[in-house]
Amino acid sequence: MKFLSFESDVSLGQNASEFIAKEIARHDSFVLCAATGGTPTITYRELVKKKSAFEHVRLTLIKLDEWGGIEPTHASTCESYLQQHLIEPLSFNQERYISFRSDAPDPEAECRRIQESLHGLGRINLCILGLGMNGHIAFNEPADFLQPGCHVARLSESSQQHPMALQRSLPGTFGFTLGMADILQSETILLMVSGQKKKEIFNEFMNRKITPRLPASFLWLHPNVFCYHTADSLH
């Protein structure tokens, strides 16, 4: 795992966007899996400014996870976030966008649909991740065991207190997510960690003890992970 430390969220976002743009630009076609939340917002804003560098690339976008049981147009969905920060600014081709439907009438069937789409694409080239307050990545929550593929996740109390969830009119109890195998089979992973609020869990992650009680710890098994973090998130 390669670590790069930055003094501010802005510096992290600028450097992360450069990394992503360069990764995309050196391919003819590229599969990008995108996280949502506060940490990647600056990164996506800066990435949009660099879109001319990769306009020649056939880019496919995968939504990493989604809240369940809510209208897709709700302001707090991952869908609304990605539409605002990536899809609309990039004038992205919706036909190359793979996305969990938050209000799917059959959540299990929705996960099977996304899994089939992933199989049709092959390997994710770059997966962008954040580190959850309880050590989750996507909605792979701390548990006795982790699931390999797309699945309906029962959200922990910590996840239900996420700012995106607290903005909702009703508390969320489940979400949709890519599984651990989907993530770990990615060619490259970019993990972004920002802020003092992540210091405790980030220091636990840095112990390098692999356990399903800290799902992000499984990233230590991957051969090509870049961790961009702010200086105040560690030690």
Which residues have a catalytic role annotated? 65, 134, 136, 141
Question: Within the chain, what is the greatest distance between any pair of CA atoms?
Answer: 45
C-alpha 123/C-alpha 232 separation (Å) is 34
